[in-house]
Structure 1
Amino acid sequence: MTHAGAPYAGLTWDHPRGYDALAASADGLIHWDVQPLEGFESHPIDDLCARYDLVVLDHPHLGEALGAGCLRPLDDLFTPAELARWGADSIGPTMRSYAMDGRQWALPLDAATQVAATRTDLADEAPRTWDEVRSLARRAPVALSLAGPHAFLTFASVAVALGEEPAADPDELIGDGTGLAALDLMAAVDALAPPETRALNPIGLLELMAGTDRLAHCPLVYGYVTYADRLTFTDAPTAAAGDRPGSTLGGTGIALSTRCAPSPELLDHVRWLMSPAAQREFLPRHSGQPSARAAWTDSATVAADFYRRTTATCEQAWVRPRHAGYIGFQGAASAAVRAALAGETDHREALDRMRTLYRTSRTPKERHT
């Protein structure tokens, strides 16, 4: 099927980081459409795969995609040596986040995780620990990322910083102590936040911070290298100096739908997107945020500080569950977190609600690791 004159149709997300490099390199082979960030986060993946040959997706959609049988396993299209090389070259858990049931379903095109963003002219030094974040919030505007699925993602990252990964036990979301402590910490910060920030997605928060003086710091927001000339990005906060930064992996993978009949030219194009030349040079020149570790640790671009200051967080980021019910759970759990922060429910009730939602989002056949 052709689309706007190109042999293949692709879908990515509507931001220069998601679109510019793909469009600039398509060379008549792929026509790239875009969807809003909210669609990328929540639109049913089987519907997208029914309409597109290539889909840029987030790793928590894998369970849904495998249940629908709508993705091509990439180990049928690329050699074990190629997949091993791309995995070894990719930063943190980006490559393995797209592996499931012993197969590789997407390649990490873009790497991102929640990091701290700061206007140092308004906040002086970026806080390094959560105690420092709370201290800053008492003297400058500080906000959490709470819109859409991000309330739960922030909760999960705080839990990681406190020493417990959510869903480490596939039947239990989080322990009492960690879950309640995370909600208490979030409530303390959110109580002082500018009200306008609570409805903003990560791009909206970064735009507000970059374009006005109404936000000085966001301790957990998905990093965007496109703002590195206006904001200072640093590792996510820790519970104490030297501890693991708490962060939830984001980024994007490029996948082929089952409707796609890939030509050698298309597979070579995907290979090129994962190549050192594309990852270290082409993508950064076109607003991209590459997944190759070398692009983060050896970057010579104007955004080198963005990568250098956040590499440790990306290397240690938490990978979300990927069972078929996860996307729905993530949205409902976020609503429970927001209700707790707004004082509509107490923290114990919100935590119990999230645990129940998590257990009911799973079935025995979906107990993937």
Structure 2
Amino acid sequence: MQRLKGLTWDHPRGYNALAAAARRPELAESGLAIEWEKQPLEGFESHPIADLCARYDLVVLDHPHVGEALAGDCLQSLGEVFGEETVRAIEADSIGPSLRSYRFAGAHWALPLDAATQVLAARTDLLPAAVPGLWEDVVSLSRQTGRVALSLAGPHAALSFLSIAAAFGEPPAERDPDILVSVETGKRVYDLMSDLASRSPRSVRDKNPIGILGHMAENDDVILCPLVYGYVNYAAPGSGHAITFHNAPRAVAGGRPGSTLGGTGIGISKRCEVTPALKQHLLWLMGREAQVGFIPDHDGQPSRREAWHDGGVNARWGSFYENTADTLEQAYVRPRHDGYIAFQGQASALLRQAFEEGAPAGGALDRLQTLYASHRSAGGER
């Protein structure tokens, strides 16, 4: 019996489906046993990936970690494990850039188990009008009610900044990898966020996305969060109010719903012995049976496109998937160079402080670009 250790993140969406899949009789019959352990969401976002790969065979990671992982030489590439033809087939079946986001330096480094991006979350039972589709409508609702929250804790202030820039037509660091965003676009984004932050309810100021959504389900002081990572569990909760999820706001009608890709992938560490049984299990997790049936049935959030458009899945989960699929298809993929993770956390702290102090855009944007440049790798792909 081959016994492997896996590490995922501590939330039903991150753990339940993997743990249930490891209990399937077919796995034991193939001579494989996988024990999944959990770490807090904050550790998932920031813990050094090389350290985790030294201790675990399978590691659930976020795509911005791949540059760091490559620098640490700690993951096996999917092409080497499964072959490039299989990787291309998985990419064709995956929604948006779910698999492509794990490509760095000419190879793919994780299987897209779970797909997510920032979307709009609302208590539609409390909204005074229709769900806002444009950023100007979000601002109007904020000024009218004082009950619109920004997700700013942890890395999320920076992630929201990136998303809004993409909505305004300038996906950060895409035109020039050395420039995060132009002064003109940066000022528009900063001023918008600063205005919304000044009225964002204090009750959720220090909460991560899970905390914000949990608060919205149980309290009435936040009726909308325009950018928060979608968690399908809150669309059909066991208790509290259901939250409805919608495409992220756009700058103009018909424009791009600005959103920064999240989700998770399964990386195979260098210490792992890849057997035919393991390959079969991992490919089963990517296949239709698991993605359309097993994973949604066990609190997971699938990455396969057809699951997001499946009528039965949407009926069970309050149309979460079909309401947000367009945002995921167009989601912005963050830089993935070694050093990006550190930038993301420090940039968020910089933005939170600037919003709290009411600092003007110019100085804050200069500091943001200087910080980005200091973490930018000397060379290589993004």
TM-score (norm 2): 0.93
- Matched to 2:134, the amino acid is T
Say whether 1:307 aligns with 2:321. Answer: yes
- Counterpart of 1:349? 363
Show CA shifts across 1:88-118 (max 9, x none).
0000011100111111110100000000000
**Separation in structure 1 between the aligned mates of residue 155 and residue 305 of structure 2, nearest angstrom:** 27
- The DSSP-based 3-state class of the residue aligned with 1:10 is strand
- Counterpart of 1:69? 73
- The DSSP-based 3-state class of the residue aligned with 2:140 is helix
- Counterpart of 2:10? 14
2:248–2:259 CA contact under 8 A, matched in 1: yes
1:280–1:299 CA contact under 8 A, matched in 2: no
Query: C-alpha root-mean-square deviation of aligned residues, in Å?
Result: 1.2
2:77–2:107 CA contact under 8 A, matched in 1: yes
- Matched to 1:174, the amino acid is V
- The DSSP-based 3-state class of the residue aligned with 1:128 is coil
- Matched to 1:154, the amino acid is S
1:45–1:64 CA contact under 8 A, matched in 2: yes
**Separation in structure 2 between the aligned mates of residue 357 and residue 300 of structure 1, nearest angstrom:** 46
**Separation in structure 2 between the aligned mates of residue 61 and residue 80 of structure 1, nearest angstrom:** 22
Q: 1:100 to 1:292 in 2, by over 3 A?
A: same
Q: Mean alpha-carbon deviation: is it higher for 124-133 or for 61-70?
A: 124-133
**Separation in structure 1 between the aligned mates of residue 227 and residue 192 of structure 2, nearest angstrom:** 13
Instruction: Tell me which of 120, 131, 136 is aligned to 1:131.
Output: 136
- Counterpart of 1:340? 354
- Counterpart of 1:183? 190
Q: Mean alpha-carbon deviation: is it higher for 150-159 or for 290-299?
A: 290-299
- Matched to 1:120, the amino acid is T
- Matched to 1:322, the amino acid is R
Deviation at 1:344, TM superposition (A): 5.7
What stretches of structure 1 of length at least 5 have no aligned partner?
Answer: none
Alignment of 1:291-330 (within 5 A): 291-301=303-313, 302-303=316-317, 305-330=319-344
1:119–1:209 CA contact under 8 A, matched in 2: yes
**Separation in structure 1 between the aligned mates of residue 97 and residue 263 of structure 2, nearest angstrom:** 11
1:339–1:350 CA contact under 8 A, matched in 2: no
Show CA shifts across 1:110-163 (max 9, x none).
000000000011114211011110111123311010000000000111111111
TM-score (norm 1): 0.96
Deviation at 1:176, TM superposition (A): 0.4
- Counterpart of 1:106? 110
**Separation in structure 1 between the aligned mates of residue 184 and residue 325 of structure 2, nearest angstrom:** 29
2:120–2:246 CA contact under 8 A, matched in 1: yes
Deviation at 1:81, TM superposition (A): 2.1
2:136–2:251 CA contact under 8 A, matched in 1: yes
Deviation at 1:345, TM superposition (A): 3.5
- Counterpart of 2:179? 172
Say whether 1:282 aligns with 2:282. Answer: no
2:194–2:358 CA contact under 8 A, matched in 1: no
- Matched to 1:242, the amino acid is G
- Counterpart of 1:24? 20
1:16–1:288 CA contact under 8 A, matched in 2: yes
2:96–2:330 CA contact under 8 A, matched in 1: yes
Following TM superposition, where does structure 1 have runs of at least 4 consecutive aligned residues deviating by more than 6 angstroms? none
Show CA shifts across 1:161-187 (max 9, x none).
111011111111100011011010011
**Equivalent pairs: percent with the same residue?**
55
- The DSSP-based 3-state class of the residue aligned with 2:74 is coil
Alignment of 1:16-165 (within 5 A): 16-27=12-23, 29-123=33-127, 124-140=129-145, 141-165=147-171
- The DSSP-based 3-state class of the residue aligned with 2:130 is coil
Deviation at 1:80, TM superposition (A): 2.1
Instruction: Tell me which of 262, 278, 290 is aligned to 1:266.
Output: 278
Instruction: Report how many aligned residue pairs link the two structures.
Output: 364
2:158–2:347 CA contact under 8 A, matched in 1: yes
Deviation at 1:304, TM superposition (A): 5.5
1:75–1:83 CA contact under 8 A, matched in 2: yes
